[in-house]
Amino acid sequence: MLRITPELHVQIQAHALQGLPLEACGLLVGDPADPDRPVVRFVPCRNAAASATVYTVHPVDHLKADRAAEDEGLAIIGVVHSHTHTDPYPSPTDVASAPDPSWHYVIVSLRDDEPMVRSYLVVDGTIAEERVALVDG
């Protein structure tokens, strides 16, 4: 289960909308040793692919987020990206580029009037949806 605060939920959706017409992306920072703890921070990142159909977290943004997390005794625990015109479900490209089986893969679909947020675990190419729980920080 992915636990996030309502504030982070809004930040994630807002970043996805601000990225239009391109896919937006960002990173989730949390405590990998305490999976019951909510996500600590959402780090908006630039889409280095500058595309409406694929995303690549900008390497400099990734490095900065990783170093800042480590300085706090935290880690990157997931990635967020938007689908501008499709369902919030991992594409074959998303699955192939999933770097860490312990990460949460959050997709924000902007296909409908209201953004739809879903989270998945991707292990050895197998996709499993997980519940997104809005919790107090």
pLDDT in tens, 93-122: 999 999 799 999 999 999 999 999 999 999
C-alpha–C-alpha distance, residues 37 and 106, integer Å = 17
**Pair of tokens at residue 52:** 């409406």
C-alpha–C-alpha distance, residues 122 and 60, integer Å = 24
Domains of the chain, CATH where assigned:
2-134 (3.40.140.10)
Question: Residue 104 has what pLDDT?
Answer: 96
Tokens 């909308």, located at residue: 17
Question: Residue 99 has what pLDDT?
Answer: 78
Q: What is the mean pLDDT of residues 17-41?
A: 95
Question: Residue 35 has what pLDDT?
Answer: 83
Q: How confident is the model at residue 70 (pLDDT cuts 50, 70, 90)?
A: very high
Question: Residue 105 has what pLDDT?
Answer: 98
C-alpha–C-alpha distance, residues 22 and 108, integer Å = 13
